[in-house]
Amino acid sequence: MAGNMTLPAIPRPTSNRPGPGNHLSCLLILTTASLILTGCGSSPTEPSLDTFWIYQANDEITGVAVDRAREMIYVTSKDANLYALDSSGRVQWYVRERISWAGIPVVAESGVVFAVTYDARLHAITPEGVEAWWSSEDGGFLSLPALAADGSIWIVSQNDNLCRLSSGGTLLSVVDVGMTVTTPISIGPDGSLFVGTNEGVAAFSNSGVQLWEHTQCGEPETALSLVQDGTVLLGTDDWRVYAIAPDGSYSWSVRSDGIVRGTPVVGPDGTIYTTSWDHFLSALSPEGNPIWKHDAGARISVTPVVSSSQHISYHPRGHSVVRLNGNGSVSERVSTDQFLSEGLIQLTSFGIILVSNGENTLMAIETPDVDQANGCWSSLRANPENTGRLDYP
């Protein structure tokens, strides 16, 4: 079922947390009292980091997306609001639903924001904050949408089918996977579709024809990331990172000494970066050979993000955000009294890294990185817009 809606005016949240009316005063208090910035390393030429702002929702933040073209930030929360923030952290508008948002938002080239709520509806919100439509076709959706190059939306339904919707919300096609789907859809440069299942990984053409199925790896613990040559990367429940060749055959695997929760990401030069509860962020060659390991001193659940200059940003479980050089040495470290656990990290093109603490707080930290790496799967869902699609470089 799909519906077209124009939302009535909604009341602003009544809270002492930052909002349209009181964000600035809370920003000053929190920036001064909560964050202590510390440089790491002895070079006097290292750039000094600063904190731009802190924003707090009324409940746990479930996702963050960046619209680089419009310099907007979208935040979904279990307080049932989707917030639109400008680059200075001020709320421009928000949309309140009847139930909490279930996953991270996704931004289309048009500026439309797609996100799912816990009642299994996929919502489309215009850049002006108006709900254009919602859909609960094929039993509804609780997965993350992926955006194809033609503007259509691919998403896994509650019936474990791959559903394709038009940009206007019309159901175009349904692909029967025949297995339980355990990950969101990842889309390759040629439009091919990849999903993790309870049996391994499966690949389909953009017309829904199954290309291959790989069952020699463990069950996926992470979302799938892609390499330009068609290789599929994933972390599994047997504490390994697997690479599956473009034809679906086994390529290589590397065992960790801890659970792998962060999705493997890829840098501009093809280097693969993985994280684990064994406290290490590791760099691997495209062939799976170790290049270096960085000891975070605590378990890492977050998916790192790679910049266009090959710097890697992440946070371990604890009180710091770390930016690494391409050789694995620490470039900067930001310490905070905010405890960072299972949160998210996202890089913008306007000079800030966005970090959620796994609860209701979003921090914006200055970075010398000018943009996330393009043409490679350099963050959780490939890019700051979270399209779940790998584009040609």
Q: What is the average pLDDT across 324-329?
A: 96
- Please state, in angstroms and rounded to a whole number, the distance separating the CA atoms of residues 341 and 325: 23
The reported pTM is 0.88
Question: Which of residues 52 and 96 earns the better pLDDT score?
Answer: 96
| Helix (H) or strand (E) run with residue 362 in it | strand 361-366
Q: What is the average pLDDT across 284-301?
A: 96
Give me the CATH number covering residue 101. Answer: 2.130.10.10
Q: Picking from 48-62, 91-105, 113-127, which range would have the lowest pLDDT averaged per residue? A: 48-62
Segments forming the whole domain that contains residue 310: 18-366
Looking at residue 141, what DSSP letter applies? B
Q: Give percent of the chain with pLDDT exceeding 90.
A: 79
Of the pLDDT bands very low, low, confident and very high (cuts 50, 70, 90), residue 128 is very high
- Please state, in angstroms and rounded to a whole number, the distance separating the CA atoms of residues 333 and 223: 27
Question: Average pLDDT of the chain?
Answer: 87
- Please state, in angstroms and rounded to a whole number, the distance separating the CA atoms of residues 4 and 19: 28
How many structural domains does the chain have? Answer: 1
**Residue 378 maps to a domain:** no
pLDDT of residue 335: 86
pLDDT of residue 33: 28
Q: Hey, what are 265's tokens?
A: 């990401």
Is residue 242 predicted with pLDDT exceeding 90? yes
Q: Where are the alpha helices (DSSP H) in the chain?
A: 23-34
pLDDT of residue 150: 96
**Residue 11 maps to a domain:** no
Q: What is the average pLDDT across 255-263?
A: 93
Backbone angles phi, psi at 156, to 5 degrees: -85, 130
∠ Cα 223 228 234 (to 5°): 25
State how far the alpha carbon of 314 is from the alpha carbons of 123, 137, 152, 226, in Å.
30, 36, 31, 20
Is residue 89 predicted with pLDDT exceeding 90? yes
**Residue 9 maps to a domain:** no
Question: Which of residues 11 and 158 earns the better pLDDT score?
Answer: 158
pLDDT of residue 49: 58
Q: Hey, what are 175's tokens?
A: 């692909």
**Residue 392 maps to a domain:** no
Q: What is the pLDDT of residues 189-225, one digit of tens each?
A: 999 999 999 999 999 999 999 999 999 998 899 999 9
pLDDT of residue 243: 98
Q: Hey, what are 109's tokens?
A: 């080239």
**Residue 111 maps to a domain:** yes
**Residue 97 maps to a domain:** yes
**Residue 1 maps to a domain:** no
**Residue 380 maps to a domain:** no
Q: What is the pLDDT of residues 130-180, one digit of tens each?
A: 999 999 999 999 889 999 999 999 999 999 999 999 999 999 999 999 999
